[in-house]
Structure 1
Amino acid sequence: MLTTHPMTALERRVVAALALLYSFRMLGLFMALPLLALYAADMLGASPLMIGVALGAYGATQALLQIPLGWLSDKIGRKPVILGGLALFVLGSVVAALAESVPMIAVGRALQGAGAISGSVMALAADLTSEEQRTKAMAVIGISIGLSFALALICGPLLAAWGGLAAVFWMTAALAVLGMAIVLLGIPSAVARTHEGVGADRNMFRPVLKDPVLQRLNGSVFLLHFMLTASFLVVPAVIEGSMGVPRDSHWRVYLPVLVVSLLGMYPFLRLSERGGRPGLALKLTVLIMPLSLAALFLGKNTLLLYAALCGFFTAVNYLEAALPSLVSKAVFAHGKGTAMGIYATCQFLGAFAGGTTGGLVYGSGGLPALLWLVIAAAILWLLLIWRIAPRSESGAAASAF
């Protein structure tokens, strides 16, 4: 009979420190999401396209550098890569804080994304925890990402109300400096090792990219972040305009909406896990996103607008939790690390594409054109996931669709 041992004191300390480090960094990236479309509108070089580029710029550099920096950490060690990535994040935050134009904010956001340390953090967690505790450690770090997104929607508007957009970027710089202190003082060094399920393997790229189940899940996370970033070109303005909530009080809207959306995830989790129908839960939440945005963009009744926001964030929160789980269940032996690396790359590419394409469409066709773009993305997404042919290696995950 197998026995499960609790984490050692060192493992608990390491996992807590790395989760805190990861959440600091993601909080800094996410806090600008509900703010840029409002606060950058009056700056030099402001246009829907340029604001969209600033929103999604971090995604392009994250996507380009995440896997290469993970490989570099195998060669020179985890902590030097993590510290270098955090230093780039500080530099990008300072550039954005001092920026007097939207293009310079975009440069700062791109520099923030260039500190792509996600893979290195996960690998360091694997280096410093036993194989028995590795899944638990990854789960704790993963949960910190979701909490960071929720906190960002509340803390970002609060900080901006006090000191404007610059205050938000100064805070992200401070959080990154604090992260560097955590790495130097709170996390022991370790010999870099290879781990099954952690880090990308060059030999696994072809089979992972050719897998039909993983192709659809990678496409799903791309479209999720495409729609999420594109929608935030308009969502803050809707809260300020249609709902009549001043920008320094937006956190009062996001807080109850996020609480309701977390409760709203339960029926979908129950359908997926207990009901054994993750494919149906996925399709329903994909359908809810454009319907909620249509009600949000076109509605005038305050109660309807609140309901639309709750529906939208319920779908987003569920999908952010469900898609990585589906990837881990669908991937074949020895391909998990590569699959998760490609998955994350698609996620960040979606954020960049959503910001730039959304900005271009919104600038040329206004709100109706942006809504049609979101609807088209949702239709493409539903077509993508409607049927996945089962394979012997991942038949259970595939047949769920």
Structure 2
Amino acid sequence: MLALERRAAAGLAAIFSTRMLGLFMVLPVLALYAHDLPGATPLLVGLAIGAYGLTQALFQIPLGLLSDRIGRKPVIYGGLVLFLVGSLVAALADSIQWVIIGRALQGSGAIAAAIIALTADLTRDEVRTKGMAAIGISVALSFAAALVLGPPLTGLIGISGLFWLTALLALGGMLLLAAVVPDPEQSKVHRDAQPVLDQLAGVVRDPTLIRLDLAIFMLHLTMVSLFVVLPLSLREAGLPVTEHWMLYLPAVLVAILAMVPFIVLAERGGRVRSVLIGSVAVLALSMLGFYLFNQTLWLVGVLLAVVFTIFNLLEAVLPSLVSKAAPAGTKGTAMGVFSSSQFVGAFLGGLLGGLAHEQFGGEAVYLVGMLTALLWLRLVWTLPIPENLSRHVIALGTSGATLDVSSLERRLLEIPGVKEAVIALDEGVAYLKVDSRQTDWARLQTFSAANA
């Protein structure tokens, strides 16, 4: 990557991760403090925990499309302002209803698609994957950091102080956007990085993509529902809230190390189905374990390490499967729907967790996670595993006026190893899905150079 590309990727990853850190930091503590607010019920507390997911899901794709019209940075600034306002509303809240409104406002600043599109604007085709990877890694680290930092920080500054801190993180994101992230020379649609409106219908009808969307939906439903009651269980087991990090930190560190061999097994060993089925089955058993042993701290620590391992593993494997399953030139749209499904799952995790807590007691919430995982197991069992094809983008350098699209696609498909080819006239590129083991790279490179 060029120096400008590294600067852009680092700045945008920092903006993305600080925003997610603000959203996630309250996850391990909100259930403990929200019950003391006027008007609080278990259902409303669950809604406060998951409310950000609904607005995030509703606005993510529309704001991404809006960034095509008015520019990336205005949309990102606007999203950070909404996140800032939501944080302030939650910090000043004197009732559970105002916390819910604040969390919903936080989620409405849904800037993920705009940030990814700006990353695509500021990086060349051949290094774009590195820029996207930096964002993905930063989000994973922010989730881990949030679980560890949330409890002790709340002990120092309180839950309202935590929301004030998230407001400061929003301001920090704006400063990073102004001072670090360059302005793109031009913004254009990048079909492999952002949603495209006319592709949505095809993506939401694809049976494999639907199952992968349901998979991430169920993963986040299970994870958020867990945090509706887990902090309460830890407190009842005798662990002060300021010491919850002592359980989360080793579980997070073990999970980061433990997931690696399973990712290798899935991606390089060709055992994707086995890894998925095993992960979901173990997740169901872990939720049952929380139901049975939530008052035994050392067992809860072990179960947390297992659940975090599965969460991190599937957060890596499922997007990879979406990338492989999406037709050439539709990865951005497929990932946009996939991400929206994730946030709907987070919202329903909070809602259903709160409802189960209110109607049947706290331990029933663990059974919600177990039943979700069992339903998910049936889905995974029949999931078609996409062919292991990689994506490749070549710059055509030929104007749309002189380009014979059908002829060019046919010639690309004649190259050994090229399985799919889509010409994007407005971008001046061809999106390919290729079998790297069979591809005649020299011929493909010659082809690209001949059209430059």
Superposition TM-score, scaled by structure 2 size? 0.83
Q: Which residue, 212, 217, 222 being the options, matches 2:212?
A: 217
8 Å contact kept, 2:324–2:387:
no
Structure 2 unaligned blocks of 5 or more: 390-452
Displacement after TM superposition at 1:292 (Å): 1.5
Matched with 1:383 is 378
Displacement after TM superposition at 1:211 (Å): 1.3
**SS of aligned partner of 2:361:** helix
Displacement after TM superposition at 1:290 (Å): 2.4
Number of aligned residues? 387
CA distance in 2, matches of 1:121, 1:282: 30
Matched with 1:258 is 252
Matched with 1:189 is 183
1:82 aligns with 2:73: no
Greater radius of gyration (CA): 2
Matched with 1:13 is 7
Q: Structure 2 counterpart of 1:91, which letter?
A: V
CA distance in 1, matches of 2:217, 2:201: 19
Choose 68-77 or 189-198, whichever is displaced more. Answer: 189-198
Displacement after TM superposition at 1:371 (Å): 2.8
Displacement after TM superposition at 1:396 (Å): 4.4
Q: Which residue, 331, 335, 338 being the options, matches 1:343?
A: 338
CA distance in 1, matches of 2:181, 2:259: 34
CA distance in 2, matches of 1:111, 1:30: 15
Structure 1 unaligned blocks of 5 or more: 1-6
1:61 aligns with 2:47: no
Q: Which has the higher strand share?
A: 2
Matched with 2:313 is 318
Displacement after TM superposition at 1:368 (Å): 4.3
How is 1:168-183 mapped onto 2 (pairs within 5 angstroms)? 168-183=162-177
Deviations 1:332-374 (A, max 9, x none): 1111011000001100100111111111111101134323322
8 Å contact kept, 1:296–1:309:
no
Displacement after TM superposition at 1:253 (Å): 1.1
Matched with 2:226 is 231
**SS of aligned partner of 1:45:** coil
Q: Which residue, 235, 245, 249 being the options, matches 1:240?
A: 235
Displacement after TM superposition at 1:205 (Å): 1.4
CA distance in 2, matches of 1:226, 1:293: 13
Displacement after TM superposition at 1:389 (Å): 4.3
Deviations 1:227-268 (A, max 9, x none): 1111111111122222x2100111111111111111221331
Matched with 2:261 is 267
Q: Structure 2 counterpart of 1:204, which letter?
A: Q
CA distance in 2, matches of 1:47, 1:11: 48
Matched with 1:138 is 132
Superposition TM-score, scaled by structure 1 size? 0.94
8 Å contact kept, 2:63–2:114:
yes
Higher relative contact order (CA 8 A, sep 6+): 1
Measured on the aligned residues, the alpha-carbon RMSD in Å equals: 1.3
Matched with 1:357 is 352
Q: Structure 1 counterpart of 2:302, which letter?
A: A
Q: Kindly, what percent of the aligned residue pairs are identical?
A: 49
Matched with 1:203 is 198
CA distance in 2, matches of 1:238, 1:260: 22
CA distance in 1, matches of 2:10, 2:169: 16
Matched with 1:148 is 142
8 Å contact kept, 2:38–2:94:
yes
Q: Structure 1 counterpart of 2:359, which letter?
A: S
Q: Structure 1 counterpart of 2:276, which letter?
A: L
